[in-house]
Amino acid sequence: MIQPAPINPLQPNERFMRLALAQARYAYEQGEVPVGAVIVYEGRVIGEGYNQREMLNDPTAHAEMIAITQAAQVLESWRLLDCTLYVTLEPCPMCAGALVQARLPNIVYGTTDPKGGACHTLYQITNDPRLNHRCTVIGGLLQEECAFLLQEFFAEQRAKGKK
């Protein structure tokens, strides 16, 4: 039997970003800002999440935070070593800080966040040499699809007089 080639954690994998997009679409259906995330360890998803701030009335219920919690439970460790996060939107300062604290080495995101991005756009928390850990960050995987979903959601919200 031929074994599949191992996934290189530094090489963006479209399949996992599509799983994150599916999470984002679920958030959209729930009336949440459509951001989705998956965390991969040894080629399998061990954590997934979508924004649930409105549903849970919790400002920390971002997709990344939910995926981090699930992944830590699966690994039975707060250290997410050898993992890769795939997320549809560049992480915010809170999530970027949590990713550094979790020692997660690899982040792949879809589209930048010009108002809150903390990996490349506004801040570089994940690569700040003053912190005890740094992440390899790759942006732009399926960027157009990730951006379109957010644009569509916010256009719909503005049309309804919300957000």
Q: What is the value of pTM for the model shown?
A: 0.91
Mean pLDDT of the chain: 93
pLDDT at 2: 41
Residue 112 and residue 122: Cα distance in Å, rounded?
10
Q: What is the pLDDT of residues 105-147, one digit of tens each?
A: 999 999 999 999 999 999 999 999 999 999 999 999 999 999 9
User: How do residues 15-47 score in pLDDT, each as one tens digit?
Assistant: 999 999 999 999 999 999 999 999 999 999 999
| Confidence label for 87 from pLDDT (cuts 50, 70 and 90) | very high
> Of 32, 48, 64, 90, which one is the catalytic site residue?
64
- Is 64 one of the catalytic residues? yes
